[in-house]
Copies of this chain bind each other. A is one copy, B any other.
Amino acid sequence: MRIEGMAKAAGVALTWQPFLLGPVFGAQGWDTSPFNIYPAKGRYMWRDMERISALRGLAFQRPKAPDMFPMNSVKAARLGLLALKTPKGPALCRAIFQAQFEQGRDISDGAVLGDCLARCDLPPTLLADSTAPEHRPALRAATGRAVALGIFGAPTFEVDGELFWGDDRLGQAFDWAQAE
């Protein structure tokens, strides 16, 4: 929610890069989110997000049911990749995160993604377009690049090969970019 403003203030160019966490986790040997595999850590992480959201005045909902996390994000990520070819892409990415984490909606549901598109004044046809065969390889390639870069979670901020993992390293990532 805050990266665009920070990038502008820092004078740093920003490129959003959706990828799938499933294969990234799979490369670590995890068959689901580590939040689910390690209950003590998972409980802590949800509480941590709740506290940080409150500090920043952001709405936050924990997943209502175990099967609501992790959500299948394939459709959302493909849609994000296509939308990011337009200037409204970042707004769509934020809208999708808000649908899941603020409103507790299911982002694997096409109707939810349609609402996100509408909210950003993007054409509803983008959703069907994003599933076309010519757009499918992009997400696979992006995910492969994430694994090759050594990424193991999201969000990760990459500055010329230097990785910064997690919201709490965002400021450091901008400092690094400015020092280059």
Contacts and interface: CB of A to CB of B under 8 A. Distances in A.
Interface string A28-71: 11000000001011011001100100010000000000000000
A44 B152 CA distance: 9
Nearest to A51: B172
Contacts of A38: 28-29, 152
> How many copies of the polypeptide does the oligomer hold?
2
A180 interface: no
A81 interface: no
A165 B48 contact: yes
Contact of A40 (B44, B48, B51, B151): B151
Contacts of A169: 48, 168
B40 A27 contact: yes
B165 A168 contact: no
A12 interface: no
Contact of A152 (B41, B48, B165): B41
Interface of A: 27-29, 38, 40-41, 43-44, 47-48, 51, 55, 150-153, 163, 165, 168-169, 172
